[in-house]
A and B are shown apart, each in its own frame.
Chain A
Amino acid sequence: MTEIELLSWARGPGLQIATIIFVAGVVIRILEILLLGRKANLAEAKGGEMSGGLRTVFTRTVPDRTTFKRSSVTIVFGYIFHIGLFVVCFFSAPHILFLKDIIGFGWPSLPTPVIDAFAVITIIALLGTLVNRLTNRVMRFLTNFEDLLTWFLTFLPVITGYVAFHRIGLTAPSLLAVHILSVELLLVIFPFTKLMHAFTLFLARWYNGAISGYKGVAS
């Protein structure tokens, strides 16, 4: 297999397979959660579920003071790499083109030096979370294989993208193929790991808020 063949496979059948697994996996898992339902609450309602639920979806974005104090490193690095990933994923010109091809519309891109800077910051923050995970005794105790796997498979597309953009080591077709393949790997494991939080976090927050709302207390 030549490198152009590998690239063609990654852009064609590889992406198809990854998309099917990703979309089907995410939809099935969310449906399973929703269809399982919740136990009927027999207590008298002291407030609205919807308002509490919706409010919490947003308020939980800001960490409360005690949580922040307790795990400030995790939160700071976490925020940085999430924002970095968002910018790099959705504002780099080739990525927008990719998404436009699928969803039918695009938006303006950021200049490559800006994307480049965000990529570097994301890489540093991701490395920071790993170092913190391995050096902090509590974190190390809580870390399992899945945590390391998801960290690695999140890190891979960022670092391969950075290397592909700067053409380090291999030739451009191979680097681009490796970058696309790394994204496909991430898509494939996405529905089966904690990466699902990208979708389920809204469900979880809503349920938390709704429970409190029903009880008429702040969440």
Chain B
Amino acid sequence: MKKALSLKDEISKKGTLGEVLRSQGVSRRSFMKFCATTASMMALPPAMIPMIARALENARRPSVIWLSFQECTGCTESLTRAHTSTIESLIFDAISLDYHHTLQAAAGTAAEAAREAAMEENYGKYLLIVDGSIPLDNPGYSTIAGISNLEMLTECAKGAAAIIAVGTCATYGGIPHANPNPTGAVSVEDIISDKPIVNVPGCPPIPVVITGVLAHYLTFGSLPELDHIGRPKAFYGQSIHDRCYRRPFYDKGHFAETFDDEGARKGWCLFKLGCKGPTTYNACATTKWNGGFSWPIESGHPCLGCSEPDFWDGGGFYKALSKPTENLSQTAVYATAGAVAAGAVLGALNRGKKNASNKIHIKTTIEDLRK
């Protein structure tokens, strides 16, 4: 928190993002590297890299209000892992973050006053970032300073230039929305329909994806192109399965059957262990996690599909995608038993019908033919 505060002071003194980064000891080389990564991730031509760099360097910190509703702070954690100060987190810090529960120093009335002041000063221009879902059953389930999540969201959304829903809870309801959804949790886009919304799902989302969306906004002054469920195509355009380095094993039919068999040790495909890679769209396979060090599948765990709606209710994390979610053998046994009984009854009825028609059947005799 101390770090955030001092940074904020520095930003207000220095003004632009470029100056702040330099004062934090971020070299030009690593800054350009970040710009190049961002450009390539957004599928922009290399010629755009200097433009991104220029735009980011001169960006005049747009006011950002970050609302946290029914969430676990994992999304903020993802972005601000403190053990290495990444450019991503510095860019994030360098944005004029006027309201964020976890990161701001102010508390209580002062915190809410900061939010209201930021909203008033930047009405129509601030970015609203939301993580966490919104309970609709009872407003009392989740409140901040006595204000319900629903009220705070609708109030803050009014003056926002755009909304970035961060994390699967804010984008699709996430874990609070999971069956039986005790709080009646919904996503941001379930409530707000008159503002541009970017969904950055993931549990949590990849840090560079969050900053990539911000960088896009700072560079072009607009939001990136979105897919059919509101995700930036640049980051969520390809399935994990299609970009997975273990894909050749899937194609060859080499699978890990358990977590400790020979297949698992050899790094074979995790499809049989329930990997949701084939139905999940995210950038994990290309950007990886922890500064590009590794990612779930590389560390031997199947993809949970956390960037997809209702991933929590997707039929079991360790159940292979092609398997039925219910116990079909039991269904089949019961169906057979029922059918045998029904078949026996129908058979008896058919037999009765056959015998009855045999009985009333009049045989043609020689006499009949002579008539």
Q: A interface vs B, CB < 8 Å?
A: 2-5, 7-8, 11-13, 15-16, 19-20, 23-28, 30-32, 34-37, 93-95, 97-98, 101-104, 108-113, 167, 171-173, 176
Contact = CB atoms under 8 A, between A and B. Distances in A.
Contact of A11 (B315, B342, B354): B315
A111 B278 contact: no
- Which one of A25, A30, A101, A167 has the highest number of Cβ atoms from chain B below 10 Å of its Cβ? A101
Nearest to B346: A32
B207 to A, nearest CB: 24
Contacts of A113: 251
Given A12-B324, A97-B272, 14 more contacts: A2-B229, A5-B309, A7-B279, A13-B326, A27-B339, A32-B343, A35-B351, A93-B271, A94-B271, A97-B322, A98-B324, A110-B253, A172-B281, A176-B321
Interface residues of B, number: 52
12 contacts: A15-B324, A15-B328, A16-B324, A31-B339, A35-B350, A94-B320, A97-B271, A97-B320, A101-B324, A102-B324, A113-B251, A172-B239
A102 B272 CA distance: 15
A8 B328 contact: no
Interface string B340-363: 101110111011001000000000
B311 A4 contact: yes
Given A16-B328, A176-B279, A176-B321, A23 B339 contact: yes
Contacts, number: 149
Given A36-B351, A112-B253, A173 B308 contact: yes
Nearest to B228: A171
Contacts of B271: 93-94, 97
A136 to B, nearest CB: 37
Given A27-B339, A36-B347, A110-B253, A12 B315 contact: yes
A35 B343 contact: yes
Interface stretch (B28-36, B191-199, B329-337): B329-337
Closest 10 CB pairs of A and B: A35-B347, A31-B343, A94-B322, A27-B339, A24-B339, A23-B335, A12-B325, A173-B279, A2-B309, A28-B343
